[in-house]
């Protein structure tokens, strides 16, 4: 049987920190009748934290390429920043010491070999320890 998801909503029981996902499903026609039903899925929170990250969007060009990055500085991820390539939507968790481990982030962020040193220099200046960033704001 094939199902189409038509809508979904969450119900939260804050006392138990459980959420129930209610998904409206439209099964394929069965005996000429189209029926509606609900599919219930339960899960428990393992971690739920809200904070306001420091966000920076940067676009720069090299001789042959353009790079668009979103840098999300937060106290999560053990002091590392979430660096997202806005062109490929691929991400890497990076800190200032990860800049020297270029084999880690070059493939993830799809950096051209000709631009490695330029992008590395950008990350050296942009990825600071989170404590120094938070004191600025």
59 shares a domain with 16: no
122 shares a domain with 95: yes
Among 91, 74, 56, which Cα is nearest to 129's? 74
Distance CA 43, CA 45 (A): 7
Identify the DSSP state of 105.
H
Band of pLDDT at residue 26, cut at 50, 70 and 90: very low
70 shares a domain with 24: no
Which residues sit opposite 22 in a β-bridge?
Answer: 9, 40
**Residue 49 forms part of a structural domain:** no
93 shares a domain with 68: yes
Residue 120 has pLDDT above 90, yes or no: yes
**Residue 32 forms part of a structural domain:** yes
Q: Is 23 helix (H, G, I), strand (E, B) or coil?
A: strand
Contact in structure between 5 and 25 (CB atoms under 8 Å): yes
14 shares a domain with 79: no
Q: What is the pLDDT of residue 6?
A: 40
Number of compact structural domains in the chain: 2
pLDDT (tens digit, 9 = 90+) per residue, 31-80? Answer: 544 445 545 567 777 878 888 888 999 999 999 999 999 999 888 888 88
- Residue 58's domain spans which residues? 54-136
Beta-strand relationship, 3-13 and 90-94: unpaired
pTM of the model: 0.62
């Amino acid at each position: 049987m094939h199902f189409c998801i038509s809508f979904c909503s969450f119900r939260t029981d804050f006392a138990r920190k459980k959420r129930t996902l209610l998904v409206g499903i439209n099964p394929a026609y069965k005996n000429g009748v189209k029926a509606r039903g609900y599919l219930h899925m339960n899960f428990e929170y393992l971690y739920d934290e809200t904070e306001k990250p420091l966000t920076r969007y940067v676009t720069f060009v090299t001789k042959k390429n353009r790079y668009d990055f979103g840098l999300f500085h937060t106290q999560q991820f053990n002091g590392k920043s979430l660096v997202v390539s806005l062109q490929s939507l691929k991400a890497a968790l990076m800190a200032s010491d990860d800049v020297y481990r270029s084999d880690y982030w070059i493939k993830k962020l799809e950096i051209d070999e000709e631009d490695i040193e330029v992008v590395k220099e950008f990350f050296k200046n942009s990825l600071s320890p989170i404590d120094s960033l938070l004191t600025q704001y």
